[in-house]
Structure 1
Amino acid sequence: MATRQEFIELIAPIAVKLRLENSPIYPSVRIAQAIHETGGNLNVWNNLVGYKVGNGVLTPYWQGDRVSTTTWEVIGGIRYDNVPGDFRAYPTLEAGFRDQDLLFGSPRYASVRIARSPGEQVKALQSSGYATDPSYASKLNTIIQTYGLTHFDEEVVLMLEKLQEQIVALQNRVSSLEEQAAMEVVPQWAKAAVDAAVKASLIDTPEKGSYDFYRLLTVLHRKGII
């Protein structure tokens, strides 16, 4: 059985990766939900979010495998233990999370997708009916705060900022190369051949040649033809 820290260290890289790939779920919320739904324990069916079989429609990440077990539900304000349920089973933990993201793409979870903070998102999960527990949001918030899980949300922000900086640097480099190319249309290696061709009155617009044109002039020049 994994310790709570080992559980977090296993889930966090997946949660961060999916967020970077445009998952609507904050890593802190994803990890907190996994801890809450499983008690911080892994299961052999790789479903850490309490995702039931539901309508049974297959997805790229769920091919119909299921596990029957019991859970507890709050119905009409009353808690019922040992409620039987069929839960989706996955080949990997990541497949389970990706399948959950497909669920969150439905209109029912629009408020979850547009949440602007982990706190707002856990409230949206509860109001959207993801769980029957009336204390669901407060429990997830407590887990997030207890284990400092927003650290992983901040990690995503820093990684995206660094990526943006790299993109800007690359764009600047491309612009610089384009400016250099515009200033020096004739390749350096072809200048002697072009000068000879101009002197021999063979060409009068050397700056409009193609790569193959400059290469041909260079070959002719080296052979002493021009």
Structure 2
Amino acid sequence: MSTAHDKNYWWNKAKEASLETGWLPTVILAQWQLETGDFLSANLQVNNNIAGQTWQPYMGTELKGTARPAAEGGYYIKYADPVVGYVDFIAKNGRYAGVKLQTTEEGQIKAIAAAGWATDPEYATKLINVLKSNRQQGYTLQRWEDETLKLAPGVAQTIINTWIKPAWHEADRAQRDVEEQGDAAAAAKLEEQKVYCNWLANQLRAAAGLSAE
């Protein structure tokens, strides 16, 4: 399968667009699929237009793409990059500003439809159906959140080496001192601090996909 038709490729692009627009990546992916017929449309291939955006005269002829279907009239916008064009279109159209204020997938889809992205009265229903189909294939918010929230291994190691390890060694030295003084209670509290440091370091390692130590 070519990259252009690979859903995983577009899933990653949807996550990038989500960070720029505030729209959920699952919603973006569903819209792209519906508008391009699973990324096979001539509009995408010829115009780099991934969501059916319509050209307007004020945009200039350099952005004028191929004609829309006769029943719809007008022309598509032609972009150099489909995702950059999509993000730019949303940013410049204030009527879609309320979409990102919706916190659920269906809420965002209904807001997109209500703002007039498409004239089809069943647009929201069709998007929701694509969304549900994608869920069954693993394209979910949970998957996106899991991938987004992973901690880079280098960042985890920096935090551990810069703050947690020195704190552990400081507690260890203090523990030996109070043990020599016969202060068992203070030694026990310092042992708890060391255990906590170990636990915290391993939580960071787990978040970064590293082995516990």
TM-score category of the 2 structures, normalised to the smaller one: 0.5 to 0.7
Aligned to 2:118: 131
Q: Is the 8 A contact 2:79 2:85 kept in 1?
A: yes
CA distance in 2, matches of 1:139, 1:116: 20
1:91 corresponds to: 80
CA distance 1:7–1:17, change in 2 (3 Å): same
Residue type matched to 1:37 in 2?
Answer: E
Instruction: Give the whole-Å Cα distance in 1 for the aligned partners of 2:130 and 2:10.
Output: 14
Residue 91 of structure 1 aligns to which amino acid in structure 2? A
- Equivalenced residue count is 165
Report the Cα offset of residue 39 of structure 1: 2.1
Structure 2 CA distance for aligned equivalents of residues 25 and 122 of structure 1: 9
Q: Deviations over 1:119-143 (max 9, x none)?
A: 1110010112222221111110011
Matches within 5 A, 1:35-74: 35-40=33-38, 41-42=40-41, 43-54=45-56, 56-57=58-59, 64-71=62-69
Structure showing the higher helix proportion among its residues:
2
TM-score (ref. length: structure 1): 0.59
> Using CA pairs below 8 Å that are at least 6 residues apart, which structure has the higher relative contact order?
1
Structure 1 stretches (4+) deviating beyond 6 angstroms?
none
Match of 1:110 in 2: 97
Q: C-alpha deviations, 1:91-131, integer Å up to 9, x for none? A: 22222232234236x2x223201121211110010112222
Q: Aligned residue for 1:34? A: 32
CA offsets per residue over residues 14-63 of structure 1, 9 Å max, x none? 112333x34312222112112222222242111010111236348xxxx9
- C-alpha change, 1:8 and 1:86, in structure 2 (3 Å) is same
SS in 2 for 1:51: coil
* Distance change (3 Å), C-alpha of 1:23 and 1:173: farther
Q: 1:155-174 alignment to 2 at 5 Å? A: 155-163=143-151, 170-174=158-162
Structure showing greater Rg: 1
State the partner residue of 1:6: 5
Q: Aligned Cα RMSD in Å?
A: 3.5
CA separation of 1:159 and 1:177: change in aligned 2, threshold 3 A: same
**Which amino acid in structure 2 is aligned with residue 34 of structure 1?**
W
Change (3 A) 1:7 1:177: closer
Given that 2:36 and 2:50 are in contact with CA atoms closer than 8 Å, whether structure 1 keeps it comes out as yes
- Mapped to 1, the partners of 2:107 and 2:132 lie a distance apart of 14
Residue 203 of structure 1 is matched in structure 2 by: none
CA distance in 1, matches of 2:156, 2:48: 39
Question: Which deviates the most, 38-47 or 139-148?
Answer: 38-47
One-letter code of the match for 2:145? V
Aligned to 1:221: none
**Comparing 159-168 and 118-127, the one that deviates more:** 159-168
Q: Aligned residues: percent identity?
A: 21
Give, in angstroms, the shift of residue 164 of structure 1. 8.5
Pair 38,22 (structure 1): closer, same or farther in 2 beyond 3 Å: closer
